[in-house]
Amino acid sequence: MRKNIVAGNWKMNKNLQEGIALAEELNEALAEKTINCDVVICTPYIHLAPVCATIDTDLIGVGAENCADHESGAFTGEISASMVASTGAQYVILGHSERRAYYGETNATLKTKTGLALKNNLTPIFCVGEVLAERENGTYFDIVKTQLSEALFELSAEDFSKIVIAYEPVWAIGTGKTASPAQAQEIHEFIRKTIADKYGKEVADNTSILYGGSCNASNAKELFANPDVDGGLIGGAALKVETFMPIIEAF
Ligand code: PGA
C-alpha cells in the first residue's frame, strides 16, 4: 500500500550551518518518538552531502529541490540528478510552481528531468497545481491533468510507480490560505482517478499524493484524514522543528 509522507521544502532558506543544525535537531526529535509516516527534508543543494552524513537516513529521507535537465556537461551553475544522488540524497522535488513560474520550467522540461531523476534512482516528488484564476474559472482539473500527462504519462507503469505526486494549489503556497479538506480531497481523488485511467487501479492505489500549500500544525490532521491525501509537502512550517513536528505527528 502507499506510504504516508511528510516532506519539508526548505526553498532558499538556511545557510549551511543553520541547515545542518535544523536537520540534526529534527533527527533528535524523531529519534525520541514513534512516527507513523515517512519524513523527508528537501534542502538546497549545498546542504545535501553534509546533512546526509550527519543524520540517520533511516529516520529522515533527504532530497534536492530541483535538478538539471541534462546529464552532464557545459551547463554552468547547474546540478545534475547524478550529482544529487552522489550526495546520498534519495529524493528530488520536480515541477514546483516556483520553478515553473520564475524559471520557465515547462511540462516538457519536467519530463526530461523526471527521466534523469529516475535513471539515477532518485524518487521524484512531482508537483502539480493550478493558479488562482484557474481555480476560480473551474479549469483546474484540466490543468492538473495536462501537467501529469505531458510530463509523466509516457513513463512505463514500473517507472511511474516510483513517483510521489504533490498537489500544490499555487494560490495556497506561502499565502496562509489553505485548500479546505473537501477541496483537497476532490482534486486528490481526481488525480488518483487520472492515474488509474492511465496505469490501472493498482498503480493508482499505490501512489502517494501529498498536499502542499500553507499546511501547518492546525490544519494537517484534517487534511491528512482525507482518504486520498497521503501527507504533505511543507514549506514555511518545515523551517523549525517545533512547527514541522506537529505536522509529522498528525499521522
Ligand atoms: P508553504 O509552501 O507550506 O510555505 O505554503 C509549500 C511548498 O511550496 O512546497
Q: Which amino acids bring their CB within 6 angstroms of ligand 1?
A: 9, 168, 173-174, 212-215, 233-237
Kindly report the protein residue whose alpha carbon is nearest to atom 2 of ligand 1.
235
Report angle CA 53, 96, 170 to the nearest 5 degrees.
Answer: 135
Cα–Cα nearest to 167, from 218, 225, 228, 220? 228
User: What count of residues does the chain have?
Assistant: 251
Given the residues 65, 98, 105, 168, select the one marked as catalytic. 168
Torsions phi, psi for 158 (to 5 deg): -60, -45
Q: Looking at residue 199, what is its pLDDT?
A: 98
Q: The pTM is what? A: 0.98
What is the dihedral angle through the alpha carbons of 158, 94, 14, 27, rounded to the nearest 10 degrees?
-20
Q: Looking at residue 68, what is its pLDDT?
A: 98
pLDDT in 10s for each residue of the chain, 251 residues: 899 999 999 999 999 999 999 999 999 999 999 999 999 999 999 999 999 999 999 999 999 999 999 999 999 999 999 999 999 999 999 999 999 999 999 999 999 999 999 999 999 999 999 999 999 999 999 999 999 999 999 999 999 999 999 999 999 998 988 999 999 999 999 999 999 999 999 999 999 999 999 999 999 999 999 999 999 999 999 999 999 999 999 99
Contact at 8 Å (CB) between 82 and 71? yes
* Integer angstrom CA distances of residue 192 from 43, 189, 238: 28, 5, 26
To the query of whether residue 71 is one of the catalytic residues in this protein, the response is no
Q: Ligand 1 centroid vs 150 CA: distance in angstroms?
A: 24
CA dist 235 and 216 (Å) reads 9
Q: Which three cell numbers stand for residue 84?
A: 544529487
